Structure 1
Amino acid sequence: MSTAFQRLCDELVRASLVEDRSFGDLLPRMMQAAQSASTAEMDAAMPRLAEGIAGAPPNLGGWLAVLAGAWIENGADPVPAGRAVVERLTDVTASALAFGEAWEEATGGKPPGMEDAQPSQQIVDTLAPKLGDGTVAAMMAWFALPQFAMAACTVLSVSPAVRAGLTDRDFSAFAAGRAAGYHGQMEYVQGLLRVLDGERLLVLDRESRRGWTVTIGGIGDNFQLHTLLAGALAGRPGGLPGTPPAPEIIACFLDADVPPGRPIISSPWNLVDAHGEWIYNEGVPADIPAVNGTRVVVLDPPSYERTFPAGRRFPLMRATFTLDGAHLPEDLAGWWPHIAPARNPL
């Protein structure tokens, strides 16, 4: 039996799909009702909300996406609407890029601000010679991009299942990177689209010729990877010399809150790839090239002290890091011929 919450959601979605004026009154009512709704009620309504996100015009679907993001942050199942958010974002991003590029060609200046301007007939008149019948759709996508970006950041942060279900992720990440020039939050979307889950890495210590296999997931940048490697290997039995990060530091790079004062920590190694190129902490694990299908990280002594504040780039995203096994030098004899000496980029 449907609840009052589900019925209100159904009314809201129906209004979005037919562009009924009642949408403007129903949206705040839905937001208010969600504050006291149970997780079960939100889960039951989420598939219907996903229909609206997928099918409504972007100016209305974007607000449904924001609504879904809020429900997900409050514990609702992220998958049904989350997939709709990310899939729709791809289309909205493409249309927004067409809008921005057409505006620059037509006027020679920057497009109107997504959050401090609004759709207008003047905008339509400016772009119609460039975009023709697609002008209004592109304009609506342009102004809806911030809502879809906000929701996508939540969805991609909290749901490995949504991340795993993405198709043509590289193309989506490329488009998000281009759109970041128009809306800064798309840089975070791009980063989340490049997150690896269930990815095996081979970690090699050049000095001892030993190695380890690790499996990672939900890691937002190489600061995080570097710290978790240190937590697993530095000063541990069967690991390498050194002092590991404190347990509370390791925890905040996995799934815990950052300790008060946001401590500053340092890198114990230079991370290098199989081609001898430095793996910069500012990069992401997806940047690390593979050899024979496996991404390789080589540990070298640090050439200088690197320090950075503790914490995850994406605070809502839980990371996983598993030390699967250790390899003796004789186990790795076939690997070292494929590993180049480190190159100094300075």
Structure 2
Amino acid sequence: MIFGRKGRERFRDAVTAFETAVRERDGDRSQRALRDLYRHFDGAGQHEAAEAGPRLAALLPELPPGPRGVVAVAAGACVERGADAGACAPYVFDGLAGTLAAAGEFCARWAVTGGGEFPEPEPGDPAPDVVDRVGPDAAVGWWTLPQWEMASVALLNHPRVCTSLGGDRRARLLEALAAVREASGHDFKCLAYALLVLDDEPLVVLHRPTGTGYALRMSGIGDNFQLHTLLADALVGGGHVPGRAPSAQEVAVCRDAPGQVPTTGSFNLVAPDGAWVWNEGTPADIPVVDGVRLLVLDPPPYARGWPAGRFFPGMTGDLRLERPLDAREAEHLLARCAPAA
């Protein structure tokens, strides 16, 4: 591995060589330059990675489906080193949409050609028997979907990307992903959760034991474990409701500090219809009532602990208490909520 100025220069040269070969449609040179790009990536500095990310992303529409996923991962890795996620996003999410469509076709053809256990995507090209069974485009779609998941999650760690993606496009991606997950039984959980992250989202919380309510706003929260700890900090730690307040370290790792630390639950999260809102889910599971997500907090039915932290370590989480509800407003909302199932 070559570090320092020489390493940075070799990475920069590899990016330029790859870009030139792709523009000139020279497959052999493109493959060699791509290998060089990956070989010298660790030696690249932040400036070189920031410069390379948008350039690599812009090449995605010009690449064949197979190498396209590999280059998307490289663009995502550049974003993790400081490249402009917003500049890369249009190309990466166009590629993700196309790959999800191809993976959906793979699932359909796999079912009508005998079904059975789905093959695990592995490094390299799809197995010849898989290609023969479903066709090359569908096979590559299934094979490269994990690569597009990695690239997309790297971009979705940035609030600007979440916001710019737009509700309609996000819904279409989630619908296509849900179809693949259901048909294949494969999880793709990181991609699903990243697409579900809410930004600057209002949340009304009702604390049933005290009859009080609170208006909050949340951003960058990957799962309800994280939300649970931040709620306990805002409401118990803030002196609004009784219970166990998380420590400063537990809160910090749920916001922007690295690592995980043990914590204990303070509430039972419940939907207005009485259904439990599981910690294993996401804030997007909380139902919308009259245009705002509405969550009820009950006493925990049993002691439960977990590692406090963030589902997406690169994503900053935030939950802000905006105001307590007045007593009449809280009472009105609670009267509409069913007891916990």
**Identity across matched positions, percent:** 34
Aligned counterpart in structure 1 of residue 299 of structure 2, from 298, 301, 304: 301
Letter in 1 for 2:276: W
Query: 1-side partners of 2:276 and 2:146: how far apart?
Result: 34
**Alpha-carbon offset, residue 290 of structure 1:** 1.1
Q: 1:297, CA displacement in angstroms? A: 1.2
TM-score of the pair, normalised by structure 1: 0.86
2:19 maps to 1:13? yes
Kindly provide the CA deviation profile for residues 53-97 of structure 1, in whole angstroms up to 9, marking residues without a partner as x: 233222111111111122122222222223422231121011022
Equivalent residue for 1:251?
252
Partner of 1:95: 102
Aligned AA for 2:162?
R
Whether the aligned pair in 1 keeps the contact of 2:106 and 2:139 (CA below 8 Å) is yes
1:171-210 to structure 2, matched below 5 A, reads 171-180=172-181, 182=184, 184=186, 186-210=188-212
Unaligned runs of 5+ in 1: 128-134
**Residue correspondence of structure 1 range 1-346 to structure 2 within 5 A:** 8-16=14-22, 18=25, 20-115=27-122, 118-119=125-126, 122-127=129-134, 135-156=135-156, 158-167=157-166, 168-180=169-181, 182=184, 184=186, 186-237=188-239, 239-259=240-260, 262-263=261-262, 265-337=263-335, 339-344=336-341
Task: String of CA shifts for 1:272-324, please: whole Å, max 9, x gaps.
Answer: 12222221111211111111101111122222222222222222221111111
- Quick check: 1:54–1:85 contact (8 Å CA) kept in 2? no
Counterpart secondary structure, 1:324: strand
Which letter does structure 2 place at the counterpart of 1:275?
Answer: D
Displacement of 1:122 in angstroms is 4.3
1:107: how far off?
3.2
Contact 1:177 1:186 in 2 (8 A): no
For residue 202 of structure 1, what is the amino acid of its counterpart? V
Residues 146 and 183, structure 1, Cα contact 8 Å, conserved in 2: no
Task: Please give the secondary structure, in 2, of the residue aligned with 1:109.
Answer: coil
Gaps in structure 2 of 5+ consecutive residues:
1-8
Residue type of the alignment partner of 2:245? P
Separation (CA, whole Å) in 2 of partners of 1:147 and 1:194: 19
Describe the shift of the 1:32–1:108 C-alpha distance in structure 2 as closer, same or farther (beyond 3 A). closer
Tell me the TM-score normalised to structure 2 length. Answer: 0.87
Q: How big is each residue's C-alpha offset from its partner over 1:89-144, in whole Å with a ceiling of 9 and x where there is no partner?
A: 121011022123212321333343310673355444433xxxxxxx3222222222
The alignment partner of 1:103 has SS state of helix
Q: Tell me: CA distance 1:169–1:225, structure 2 relative to 1, closer, same or farther (3 Å).
A: same
Residues of 1 paired with 2:50 and 2:81: CA distance?
11
| RMSD over equivalenced CA pairs, Å | 2.4
